[in-house]
Structure 1
Amino acid sequence: MQSVRANGSPGAAIPTTSETREQLDRIRSSQEFHAPDRGRRFLDYIVEETLAERGTYLKAYTIALEVFGRDASFDAQNDPVVRIEAGRIRRALERYYLVAGQFDKVIITIPKGGYVPCFRHSDACPATDLGPLAETGDSPDPVLQTATPSKPADFSPRNESTVQSSPAPRTFYLTAVSLGLMTLIIAFGIPFLFSPQTQSSTSPADRPDFPQVLVEPFEDLSEAGVSAGIARGLTDEVIGHLAKFREIVVISNLPAALRGQPQTKGLKEPRFALQGRVRVEDSRLRLTARFVNRDDGSVIWANSYNKDLRIQDVLQVEADLAQEVATALAPPYGVISQSDTATTNPSNSDERDDYACTQSYYSYRVDLNPKGHAAVRACLQRATERNPRNSTYWALLSMTYLDELRFQFSLNRVPALSTLKSAVETARRAADLDPQNARALQALMLANFFNGDVEAALRVGAAAYELNPTDTEVAGEYGFRLALSGKWDTGCELMSRAVNKNPGPKGYYEVGLAMCAYMREDYQAAELWVRMADLRYNPIHHLVLLAILGAEGRLDEAREEQDWLKAKAPALLANIRSEIAIRLPRPEDQQRILAGLNAAGVAITSH
């Protein structure tokens, strides 16, 4: 069974045929394996062909004929059905192993660049020997392409223009812990999720100043109403994705009393509207979406999307398009947030509504400047006082408290342990108020992580990611925690996706990707990432750069970074072992960073 490899250490055992088939049945029967019948046939076929040692013949042409019913005239260059279906199955397998299969003993993956699946035991060490290369003409999966430069590969910094990922195949093993909200209840003993006294802050009344978005029914422009059902389905899907974001209020049906009226009985008419038009011709679907300021009719954002209904079923097309629209609009640095950004001083509460505190928080995150931190913290404190039932305000306040500890802000004013306690308590309150708020779970994940409970942090992070995988902030932070906890492949991949999708500031995650490159000993890529981050006010940014320069033997430049840290964050270097341990739980990861710092001239005390 030469083509079925463990991809681990030389002595790693290959799963038996029966083990592999049992795992395939387990995946197919899981509700978390989201794939249509055609995709399931695809997965069955490539697994069985590989088990029969016919993996060499798994080419786009063969699969198109045997699985998708194409005739002998099939041309892989002009008909991407196999590549696209492979991408969908990769995503479905990824979701399964993130959500339901994290404890499965056998891992099934489809390395990029080809169609031969890889089978391995979950405890085997990952490597890059992935099997035969793609046949000539098979390009990387277009659905999962990410913006990275051609060199260095794998989570390497992007250059000035966006380029596609290298076609060189690699396997992405997904072993992240993801137990969902029920696991939160069991693992953490969080009775508030079903407590009769708990009322979730999900109503617009608890978010009075948040942007309100009216999602108008999408129009069908096809002749004879051919795409009327698709238009309705897309409308529902978009509403579902947008409603997961607690920083906005989604309205599907405008009350008659508000139509055409600026204000009625204290209720405000939505300022924004999302409009869509759908046309289907010759099995090709086109969606045109636009985001409009209803006050003056100006178009703030518009985009068009095209799908081939011969390649994807209608339900999957609707889900994919809705997610793309929601990703563009709703995350913290998306179109809605940028359209509603406040410009007044966060320290002056008379000039601002409370929602503007969230805008100030995300603006502060651009460069993590400590000068803006105190004003943002004070603003959010006032917001929680005036809106004690708003989960999002509490979540952002928790992360602001945590920044004082992890970024060495204002530690001369508040004892570190007291700051951490405030962060944990505030995050718990946010999750208590609204357990369906992914931002609240994001805050609780971070608080648990820095409180030393890494297992709890990853479980909460998995629940947050499952609640709203469209939220790039949640995905990025969850990926960061996975990486720092030792799951570097999984975590760095999630961070990379977040960076590529997030239209806003990326410096924070670029430092994370620098860590990913450092752990691969790709110091050139690590330095490029950290310098692009441009977080010149942030001590951790300088600390990572210092370790990189030390590993590269560039002592003169390293001395400059060390001098900066001595002047701006002396406590960080004075307690370097404990500071590294807070951020990197695994001893082997700690030693790799400490080695770089020691090479840079930092005095590392013994245990």
Structure 2
Amino acid sequence: MKGIDTPEPTAVRDQLERIVASADFEASNRNRRFLEYIVEETLAGRQDLIKAYAIATCVFGRGADFDPQVDSIVRIEAGRLRRTLERYYLTSGRVDPVVISIPKGSYVPEFVRNVPRAAGSAPAAPAATRERRGVSILVPGFEEEGDQSLYPNLTRGFTRHVIAGLTRFTELSVFGPGTSALQGETAERDIDYLLTGGTTISPLQFGAEVLLVEVRTGRCLWGDVFERAVETGGLAEALTEVAGAVVRALAQPYGAIFVARSREVDPANAGALSSSASVLLFRRYARTFDRSLQETVRRALEAAIQRDPEDAEACSCLSQVHTDMLRFGGAPTPAGADHGRQALDLARRAIDLAPNSSRSHHALSRAYWFAGDVAGSFEELQIARALNPNDTAILADLGQQHAVMAQWDEAIPLLETAYARNPGLPSSYRIGFALFHFAHGRFAEALAEARKIDVSGVVYGAVMVAASAIRLGLDTEAGRAVHAVTEIDPDYGRHAALDLAWRNVDPALAAAVLEALGDAGLPAGPGSAATRAVPLRPVRR
């Protein structure tokens, strides 16, 4: 007997016609015939005859000598058709009356009514009590391009690697192939993006073509091709490298997901921004430390936390805003100590809420650094790096901290790797390269790096331009840079020595920079007692 959710044959045929006519059903003509064949055979009661041999000879034009053990065409095309159907039902087919699906391990389709949740029925408890956070992304599985019969689990393994990498970014809600077939469930989960594509393999190279699709509109927002040679480490290493590259391109700071989401943020309405929009606004601010946005970002994050006190991501971002208010607030003063305490408290709260979030530990590392706990800062950064090796901001911060301490053997490889993996990293990390070249007397290279630093209302790019230019005899450029420093902080010359010491800059390196600043026309005398910061001594846990 048919179940109450089983549609009538007429409804199934109407749905089949709707699917094959849709622009969102991106199947080849052959796979459209494939779908029509298996649906009609099932409706005619001949589902027991739907086998690989019948499909190959009746749909794909294979001869009577077709052997499915040798030719995997049906299995490959069935996988493509299955994923194409899943994508269709995540886009224009979300509200269609009938769902046609092809269960894995079978070529026989299933038909169910797409029954929306009854009006007035209660949503899941978390949605009723808490603002939706972050971004949700579905990875239903990648297609196998070409004959991969010699590597039967390769693409599934690649899919798992990508999913595992994405879950390290705890602000993402990631769903894999196990949930993608449950169309009602994915609709309930309100999926934002679909990640799809295909893999290729040859004896010399593994590759993946990846597309990011916005579910709400069906638009393809981003796509790229990733390839790695199969060398000493073999295919497994190439697969891991490609998966890591895909994850970084998508999810790291200023990656494809950030770009796709950032257009939704309106700073003029800071208090009403959603939690995820507030975090995006913070990322926009942190790219250049735009001082004009700082207070707006703070208000937006505070409002998000007030609405949802358990939002670890917002807590970690707000912690970093308070750290910035402390470190970019001009001379270290007793008034700045309150920002330091709030930065520590918020970061620790974020870790309590989400102990496995790399972003929480990253925030605590920054708070420790300006609280004078250098060892604690490095420890938290290493924890953050272990939790998410694909977050290049963590890698760059680690390199930057080694750089200011003149630990070049550690600093430069970390910074080079971070920028190689993510050329879109904020330019502020270039200060590490500028310091490196300056310390070794390569003033032209130091100046080239300093010119790349684009930060708003922060003196350090201009400081390195002035110090490097004067050593090259470029008095005019050095003078302009000194003017830029005094425009930002008129008293910087009087507390520059204290400022560099407070930022844990290596004493010999600080002395060389201060001497160059003095030669460029900026007084670099010792800081007075009135400008000394109140020391913060965080309690280690």
TM over 0.5: yes
Letter in 2 for 1:586: D
In 1, Cα distance between equivalents of 2:128 and 2:251: 16
Structure 1 residues 308 and 288: alpha-carbon distance in aligned structure 2, compared to 1, 3 A threshold: same
* Aligned match for 1:570, one of 465, 484, 490: 490
Are 1:444 and 2:364 an aligned pair?
Answer: yes
SS in 1 for 2:222: strand
Are 1:372 and 2:293 an aligned pair?
Answer: yes
**Aligned pairs (5 A) from 1:133-532:** 208-223=132-147, 225-253=149-177, 255=179, 259=183, 263-264=187-188, 267-268=189-190, 270-282=191-203, 284-309=205-230, 311-349=232-270, 352-408=273-329, 415-532=335-452
- Would you say the 8 A contact 2:208–2:227 is kept in 1? yes
Report the equivalent of 2:519.
599
Count how many residue pairs are aligned between Structure 1 and Structure 2: 402
Cα shift readout 1:214-246 (whole Å, capped 9, x = no counterpart):
011223344373333011111111111111012
Cα shift readout 1:268-313 (whole Å, capped 9, x = no counterpart):
2x12111132333456433222222223332222223344546442
In 2, Cα distance between equivalents of 1:602 and 1:418: 30
- Would you say the 8 A contact 1:274–1:292 is kept in 2? yes
In 1, Cα distance between equivalents of 2:129 and 2:137: 15
Letter in 2 for 1:549: A
**Aligned pairs (5 A) from 1:541-552:** 541-552=461-472
Letter in 2 for 1:341: S
In 2, Cα distance between equivalents of 1:220 and 1:565: 56
Q: CA deviation at 1:536?
A: 5.0
**Aligned pairs (5 A) from 1:47-58:** none
In 2, Cα distance between equivalents of 1:411 and 1:418: 12
Structure 1 residues 418 and 601: alpha-carbon distance in aligned structure 2, compared to 1, 3 A threshold: same
Percent identical: 24
In 2, Cα distance between equivalents of 1:277 and 1:518: 46
In 2, Cα distance between equivalents of 1:224 and 1:387: 48
**Aligned pairs (5 A) from 1:547-558:** 547-558=467-478
Report the equivalent of 1:560.
480
Report the equivalent of 1:90.
none
Q: CA deviation at 1:205?
A: 9.2
Q: CA deviation at 1:524?
A: 0.8
- Would you say the 8 A contact 1:549–1:596 is kept in 2? no
In 1, Cα distance between equivalents of 2:326 and 2:231: 53
Letter in 2 for 1:217: G
- Would you say the 8 A contact 2:207–2:242 is kept in 1? no
Query: Bigger CA drift: 564-573 or 368-377?
Result: 564-573
- Would you say the 8 A contact 1:207–1:390 is kept in 2? no
Letter in 2 for 1:543: V
Q: CA deviation at 1:481?
A: 1.0
Structure 1 residues 343 and 304: alpha-carbon distance in aligned structure 2, compared to 1, 3 A threshold: closer
Where does structure 1 lack aligned partners over 5 or more consecutive residues?
1-201
In 1, Cα distance between equivalents of 2:464 and 2:127: 42
Structure 1 residues 353 and 556: alpha-carbon distance in aligned structure 2, compared to 1, 3 A threshold: same
- Would you say the 8 A contact 2:493–2:525 is kept in 1? no
- Would you say the 8 A contact 1:226–1:280 is kept in 2? no
SS in 2 for 1:604: coil
SS in 1 for 2:297: helix
Q: CA deviation at 1:212?
A: 0.6
In 1, Cα distance between equivalents of 2:128 and 2:515: 52
In 1, Cα distance between equivalents of 2:204 and 2:490: 64
Report the equivalent of 1:149.
none
TM-score, normalisation: structure 1: 0.61
In 2, Cα distance between equivalents of 1:284 and 1:577: 53
- Would you say the 8 A contact 2:179–2:186 is kept in 1? no
**Aligned pairs (5 A) from 1:18-33:** none
Q: CA deviation at 1:518?
A: 1.5
Q: CA deviation at 1:480?
A: 0.6
Structure 1 residues 384 and 527: alpha-carbon distance in aligned structure 2, compared to 1, 3 A threshold: same
Structure 1 residues 432 and 593: alpha-carbon distance in aligned structure 2, compared to 1, 3 A threshold: farther
- Would you say the 8 A contact 1:508–1:533 is kept in 2? yes
Structure 1 residues 503 and 292: alpha-carbon distance in aligned structure 2, compared to 1, 3 A threshold: farther
Cα shift readout 1:121-179 (whole Å, capped 9, x = no counterpart):
xxxxxxxxxxxxxxxxxxxxxxxxxxxxxxxxxxxxxxxxxxxxxxxxxxxxxxxxxxx
Letter in 2 for 1:244: R
Letter in 1 for 2:499: E
In 1, Cα distance between equivalents of 2:431 and 2:253: 19
Q: CA deviation at 1:491?
A: 1.2
Letter in 1 for 2:471: A
Cα RMSD for the two superposed structures: 2.9
Cα shift readout 1:429-487 (whole Å, capped 9, x = no counterpart):
22222221111111111111111111111111122122212111111111111211231
Q: CA deviation at 1:497?
A: 2.1
Cα shift readout 1:51-80 (whole Å, capped 9, x = no counterpart):
xxxxxxxxxxxxxxxxxxxxxxxxxxxxxx
Report the equivalent of 1:152.
none
Q: CA deviation at 1:402?
A: 1.1
Structure 1 residues 419 and 308: alpha-carbon distance in aligned structure 2, compared to 1, 3 A threshold: closer
- Would you say the 8 A contact 2:470–2:520 is kept in 1? yes
Q: CA deviation at 1:401?
A: 0.9
- Would you say the 8 A contact 1:454–1:485 is kept in 2? no
In 2, Cα distance between equivalents of 1:462 and 1:588: 26
Letter in 1 for 2:174: V
- Would you say the 8 A contact 1:395–1:443 is kept in 2? yes
In 1, Cα distance between equivalents of 2:349 and 2:377: 16
SS in 1 for 2:389: coil
SS in 2 for 1:277: strand
Letter in 2 for 1:285: F
Q: CA deviation at 1:382?
A: 1.3
SS in 1 for 2:262: coil
Q: CA deviation at 1:553?
A: 4.1
In 2, Cα distance between equivalents of 1:212 and 1:279: 27
Higher relative contact order (CA 8 A, sep 6+): 1
